[in-house]
C-alpha cells in the first residue's frame, strides 16, 4: 500500500522530523528547505550548526510559513548532535539533510 501512496499526486511525503545541518545556517539554506517543503511536510525542523544563526537568517525566517516548527541547536560537535537526535527519534520518520549538498548551495561551489 505504501508503494501506491508514492504515486498519488495530491499526497505529500511526510516526516515527523527534519534534521538539517551545516557549519553555519544561511539564507540560501532556508530557501532550499522552503522549496523542499512545498512538496513534503513535517512536524518539526531542527537546524544543527556550530554558529548561531545571524540576524539576517532570523529575519528571513519570519516570512516563511513554517517558521513555527523550526528549532536551532548550536554545538561544536555537529555529527554527534545529529546522531543523538536520530537515536532520540528513532521510532519516528526522520529525514537528515546535509545542507552543503542540498538546494542551491552546491551550485555556489561549482567552478563553471
* pLDDT, averaged in runs of 10, over the chain (112 residues): 48 90 92 91 95 93 93 96 95 93 62 54
Other Cβ atoms less than 10 A from the Cβ of 106: the count is 12
5: in domain = no
Distance CA 105, CA 15 (A): 22
Predicted pLDDT at 11 = 72
Q: Is residue 3 assigned to a domain? A: no
Nearest C-alpha neighbor of 47 from the set 86, 99, 103: 99
Residues 6 or more apart whose CB falls under 8 angstroms from that of 18 comprise 33, 42, 44, 45, 46, 94, 95, 96, 97
Residue 18 has a pLDDT of 95
Q: State the CATH number of the domain containing residue 22.
A: 3.40.50
Q: What is the pLDDT of residue 103?
A: 63
Check residue 49 and give its pLDDT.
96
Give the residue from 23, 32, 26 showing the smallest Cα distance to 103: 32
* Rounded (10°) CA dihedral 77, 27, 106, 20: 40
Q: Is residue 99 part of a domain?
A: yes
**Closest listed residue to residue 33, CA positions, set 80, 107, 98, 83:** 98
Task: Say how far apart CA 68 and CA 23 lie, in whole Å.
Answer: 23
Domain total in the chain: 1
Tell me which residue range forms the domain holding 69.
11-109
DSSP 35: H
Amino acid at each position: 500500500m505504501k508503494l501506491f501512496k508514492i504515486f498519488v499526486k495530491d499526497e505529500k511525503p511526510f516526516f515527523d522530523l527534519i534534521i538539517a545541518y551545516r557549519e553555519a545556517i544561511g539564507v540560501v539554506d532556508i530557501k532550499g528547505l522552503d522549496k523542499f517543503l512545498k512538496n513534503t511536510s513535517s512536524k518539526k525542523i531542527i537546524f544543527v550548526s556550530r554558529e548561531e544563526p545571524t540576524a539576517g537568517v532570523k529575519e528571513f525566517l519570519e516570512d516563511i510559513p513554517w517558521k513555527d516548527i523550526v528549532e536551532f541547536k548550536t554545538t561544536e560537535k555537529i555529527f554527534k548532535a545529529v546522531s543523538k537526535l536520530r537515536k532520540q527519534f528513532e521510532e519516528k520518520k526522520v529525514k537528515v539533510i546535509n545542507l552543503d549538498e542540498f538546494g542551491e548551495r552546491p551550485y555556489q561551489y561549482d567552478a563553471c
